[in-house]
Amino acid sequence: MANYTLEINGERTKIDAAADMPLLWAIRDKVGLTGTKFGCGIGQCGACTVHINGAPVRSCLLPISAVDGSQVTTIEGLADSDQLHVLQQVWIDQDVAQCGYCQAGQIMSAAALLNQKPKPTDDDIDNAMSGNYCRCGTYIRIRKAIHTAASFYDAADKASSASNEQEAQA
């Protein structure tokens, strides 16, 4: 066991864990943030998606030792205030989820996309979301929700998301 320090959702967090413990289990079991889900355990489904230094990654495959000192954003930390992130609100407003199990990973991948391309095309969305599976088949609603969120996703939203991740690194 070793101590690792991460900035999780803007808070400096020390975690005592084995070097090969997947980040997913460190987040869920050691920190108690359960919004990030276990899906397949082999990095194929995207349910475990979090942001590491702003980039979407599959936390079920990533050992905690590989991200020591990194900034981690989970679904719980996506919003920067008491209000939901625009994607979270659109997901609710448009009733995107059916069972909802994969949706945290879907939203995290969509947020990373909108941070890079605030006005994505269908192809951009399909490419960015290709690693996220939904057994309920809500892909059309997911694409529509991303387009809707993009219409609200102005420079302030992008700056706010980037600022949160940069503040946590400082």
- Domains of the chain and any CATH numbers: 2-77 (3.10.20.30), 86-165 (1.10.150.120)
Quote the CA–CA distance of 48 and 46 in Å, as a whole number. Answer: 5
* DSSP helix/strand/coil, 146: helix
Type of residue at 111: A
* DSSP helix/strand/coil, 100: coil
pLDDT, one tens digit for every residue, the chain (170 residues): 999 999 999 999 999 999 999 999 999 999 999 999 999 999 999 999 999 999 999 999 999 999 999 999 999 999 988 899 999 999 999 999 999 999 999 999 999 999 999 999 999 999 999 999 999 999 999 999 999 999 987 644 555 555 555 554 55
- pLDDT for res 157: 52
